[in-house]
Structure 1
Amino acid sequence: MDLAAPELGAPTDGKPTAPEPQGYENPLESSSRWYLNARAQVIRYASSVGFSISNRTEPPAPQPSRDFSVDSTISVYSGPQKISVEAWIPPKPSDGTRAAIINCHGGGWILGQGTDDARWAGALMASLDAVVFTVNYRLAPTYPFPTPLEDCVDAVCQIARRADEFGFDPNKIILSGFSAGATNTLATWIALQDPARFAYELPFVPPPIVGLVLFYPVLDWTITRPEKRETCSRPDLTLGRTLTDLIDASYIYPAVPREKRTDPRLSPGLMPDELLKNLPPVHLCLCEYDMLLAEGMRFARRLQQAGKQHTCRIVAGERHGWDKPPPMAPKESVQIEYDQATQAIAKWLGTNNDTDRESLMSMKTKRPRLKRPGYLPSFRSKTMR
């Protein structure tokens, strides 16, 4: 288990987060869906502006090669062409043996989009010569649990069917995700193992999954927010109560008592042992000052006790979502952790990292490029073992 030591983070609103008092009840659970959606829309706009700026800073993030839509077949909100997907395709010609990484973005199920992870897509193309897909699952509060997760299941099955079109091997599919997207990633694998358990009739036979890359996932919804913050050594650096109240009220609807939130699609870290023993290799990246650290560590211990192939890294001194804006330019630690994750994938695939940064320069990037202001300090990091 490794610890990387980058710069310190701060809460998203710039103010220290005070833990909720015992017995705290989320005031937003009684709010109308219209009101919750209005609040979510404001945050989505601010987030999109932040990512747009960040993706244009040096070095600029690559733009998707193309986008397309797939059908929603298992959600109660099903219909044709409901789920949008972006594809990043390496410039070099494909011989059909490339791997595919299907990624789910973060955002607490209430915000975010696939291009938020454009730098991750660039790292995967550069290091692995892989085709990368990002799933724009539909968001709460309009689409609460389990629709976002079901959109990911649908997308994985339908992307796999288009392997020839995109030039990848359908037997070399890796799933990745960040935060809520990492939860979707693990829950998607669970749903693909036994669709009938959840009354799913999938349109296609589920593809085999080579491995899972999980960046700071939510793994246990039965733990209250006060309990999550209490386990964190720096609760003042955790996500603000205003945001977590909105996430909780938006995604879990109708409200379900904490002790009953054991559905493995919701709390995938609580999957039964017989399911866990079938997991493919897992790469887990956690943050030291994240309220989700404790549940991530518990899951890592379960993997270890079960003898499952896995790696677990803790980014020291950092908070949840440390690799995302508001920093004007990516931290050095982000490249370190993305490199560690791509190395794990290369090991699973039995290949060496296929560095191809030169040909990637031909891809379109977000423009205009914004240079890092000279007054911003340059932070260096090191890996501690």
Structure 2
Amino acid sequence: MTYAFDPEITPWLTMLPSGPFADFRELRAMGEAAVRAGLPSYEPDIPITTRDITVPGPEGAPDVMVRVYAPAERDGLLPGLLYIHGGGFIMGSVEQFDAQATRIAAEVGTVVVSVEYRLAPEHPFPAGLEDCYAALEWTAKSASELGIDPGRLGIAGESAGGGLAAAVTLLARDRGGPALCFQYLGVAELDDRLRTPSMRDYDDVPLWNSRSSKVSWDCYLGEGRRGTAEVSPYAAPARAQDLSGLPPAFVTACQYDAFRDEDVDYAQRLSHADVPTELALYPGVLHGGIIPESTTGQRILTDTLAALRRGLGVRGG
């Protein structure tokens, strides 16, 4: 197909992978190659402290490593944000998303707890989800120690991390767990059924497409389960029937992203369930608006930080 990509990103398109990927190992190797090539750096304007902590994991499972970011100088309690990295459930790490977490801590003015959850297929659903939920419980219980205002605890994730953030939010409601004030769902991976028009059409766009999504879901759920009635809404939040009682949401979607329609639909359903919801749909760009140097990439970043400030009740946001 021919796509009306944003002209600012077209010089980058030939440098982005497009598959098809034989299996998760190729996708994971792609992510590792990006790390070796050098991740985007970020130097905060204010001092940020970071420390790695091992926290109790789910019952019967290993402990979970989290990296805690916080402004070194503070006046009173700060909001807290559980941050869940992306990577299609099969790749990614706290280290790979270190710059983004640091930026959020510095520019939003919040304590960020970034989770090193277990990856599929070695650890399929619900391993990664339960790791993230355990990290949320620890964050809420440790609010005083971390300097977090317990009434301003939010969650954020991007791509598969956005899907995990949506699922943790559902779990927190259904288990009577920690109260969340806000959920940021960035280009979230939400629906294993792969039936939306954007998922059907975008099988050849660079970076991430419907073929990548099949590999991702098969790893996360196990072979043969994708699209069946066996799949839990905590694995694929688009399947959740009841979205009432969830915290306010900010949802992003990109025009040439296979996840576009499931993100738009989830935002609409949240709104219909009386959940205060904002939806930002960015034209002409790929999954995540991936080119930060572009005008749209900068707009996505600005919108993200502003949404987090609003959602976490940061004055001036």
TM-score range, shorter chain: 0.7 to 0.9
Instruction: Give the aligned partner of residue 352 of structure 1.
Output: 315
- CA deviation digits over 1:116-151, x for unaligned, max 9? 333432442333311111111011111011111111
Whether contact under 8 Å (1:183, 1:268) holds in the other structure is yes
Instruction: Give the aligned partner of residue 93 of structure 1.
Output: 74
Whether contact under 8 Å (2:108, 2:305) holds in the other structure is yes
- Equivalent in 171, 191, 198 of residue 220 of structure 1: 191
Instruction: Give the aligned partner of residue 267 of structure 1.
Output: 236
Cα gap change, 1:48 to 1:267, in 2 (>3 Å): same
Shift of 1:307: 3.4
Does 2:24 align with 1:54? no
- CA deviation digits over 1:52-97, x for unaligned, max 9? x2333788999761111112224x6x13xx21111111021341x2
Cα gap change, 1:313 to 1:62, in 2 (>3 Å): farther
TM-score, normalising length from structure 2? 0.84
Whether contact under 8 Å (1:287, 1:320) holds in the other structure is yes
Whether contact under 8 Å (2:67, 2:94) holds in the other structure is yes
RCO comparison, higher one (Cα < 8 Å, 6+)? 1
Identity across the alignment (%): 24
Return 168-177 or 60-69, whichever deviates more. 60-69
Instruction: Indicate the SS of the match to 2:285.
Output: strand
- Equivalent in 228, 250, 269 of residue 283 of structure 1: 250
Instruction: Give the aligned partner of residue 205 of structure 2.
Output: 236
Instruction: Indicate the SS of the match to 2:177.
Output: coil
Cα gap change, 1:244 to 1:277, in 2 (>3 Å): closer
Measure the CA separation in 1 of the matches of 2:122 and 2:14.
24
Cα gap change, 1:257 to 1:142, in 2 (>3 Å): closer
Measure the CA separation in 1 of the matches of 2:47 and 2:235.
32
- Equivalent in 140, 147, 154 of residue 134 of structure 2: 154
Whether contact under 8 Å (1:238, 1:290) holds in the other structure is no
Whether contact under 8 Å (1:104, 1:177) holds in the other structure is yes
Whether contact under 8 Å (2:156, 2:165) holds in the other structure is yes
Shift of 1:279: 1.3
Whether contact under 8 Å (1:237, 1:289) holds in the other structure is no
Instruction: Give the aligned partner of residue 261 of structure 2.
Output: 294
Measure the CA separation in 2 of the matches of 1:6 and 1:83.
42
- Equivalent in 154, 157, 164 of residue 174 of structure 1: 154
Whether contact under 8 Å (2:191, 2:239) holds in the other structure is yes
Whether contact under 8 Å (1:286, 1:313) holds in the other structure is yes
Whether contact under 8 Å (1:86, 1:134) holds in the other structure is yes
Measure the CA separation in 1 of the matches of 2:210 and 2:149.
44
- CA deviation digits over 1:157-189, x for unaligned, max 9? 011111122211122111000000000001001
Measure the CA separation in 1 of the matches of 2:182 and 2:16.
36
Does 2:301 align with 1:333? no
CA RMSD of aligned residues (A): 3.2
The one-letter amino acid paired with 2:285 is E
TM-score, normalising length from structure 1? 0.71
Cα gap change, 1:128 to 1:238, in 2 (>3 Å): closer
